[in-house]
Structure 1
């Protein structure tokens, strides 16, 4: 399926702020379920987090682009890189509570689950405690959720919902 993408620079430097802006823009634009909304880290002279929206229909892209530019945001065609961190994706909102790996794959656009330090994929029946925060990343054209082992043989997504800031105890 052909998809159409836009990159938006909201001028933020932190992932949590970028997640918030991405959700805010998606709600304001009334984006449909089939949309992918990702964050991308930009390094260099001006480190920041940019957003991408990938939409299934070309005419809708132009409307979205015009509305974002009307807000004064910098918008360009395409995605900045192929490894975005998905915040919005088909089925993502349904990944709450504890689900099996098979349920995660069946209910969402996630193609694969990997486990840090494991030689192969997890058993489909393995419970995944989502913490209501599931952020897969694009890897070689697949949406991949990286998980890590947790208590009781369960898994949890590698990215935690409320990360402790670096040097928080100083």
Structure 2
């Protein structure tokens, strides 16, 4: 069964426009905002929540929510604007980094690539620097942090080789800031 695809029922939420919040400036804070919004709005598991980098006079990270139905979109927009968020229609770009998506809660521990594709909305797994797709039986250590990105209307998880002939997501859960030890 192919994974569900997002629909045109989408909103972009800019926390920097919220009267009580400063602009979200990093991905970790945007991930937290998406999880907070999912809990506050009691979002169903088939909602997509993505982060998007905005590079304008105020560089920041905004989030988008894509809903399976128009009634869910309308309800979420009403509740978000009632809380003081700026919720504009659509998504800011086509390359969002998915944090919330169908099946994400099942991507914990070590799974096979085939399991990742079967259990979630992820369409494809790639290996950084490799032109070939990984074997469906290849083991993926998720670190409980799986952040695929939209590429040409497909949700793609980029991985990299790791110890023990395994793969790991390219994005690590707690990255070391550049030049942290200098």
Give the alignment of 1:155-170 within 5 angstroms: 155-170=167-182
Superposed CA deviations along residues 84-112 of structure 1, whole A, max 9, x for unmatched, are 00000000111000000000000000000
Alignment of 1:1-170 (within 5 A): 2-10=7-15, 11-170=23-182
Q: How many residues align?
A: 170
TM-score (normalised: structure 1): 0.97
Q: Mean Cα displacement is larger for which, 61-70 or 97-106?
A: 61-70
**TM-score, normalised relative to structure 2:** 0.91
Deviations 1:114-166 (A, max 9, x none): 00111210011000000000000000000000000001110000000001122
Contact 2:51 2:99 in 1 (8 A): yes
Structure 1 residue ranges (4+ consecutive) displaced by more than 4 angstroms after TM superposition: none
Decide whether the 8 Å contact of 2:8 with 2:90 is kept in 1.
no
Identify unmatched segments of 5+ residues in structure 2.
16-22
1:24 Cα shift? 0.4
Structure 1 unmatched ranges of 5 or more: none
Report the CA distance between 1:167 and its aligned residue.
2.7
Q: What is the distance in 2 between the residues matched to 1:68 and 1:130?
A: 32
Q: CA RMSD in A?
A: 1.0
Give secondary structure in 2 for the equivalent of 1:146. strand
- Return 55-64 or 96-105, whichever deviates more: 55-64
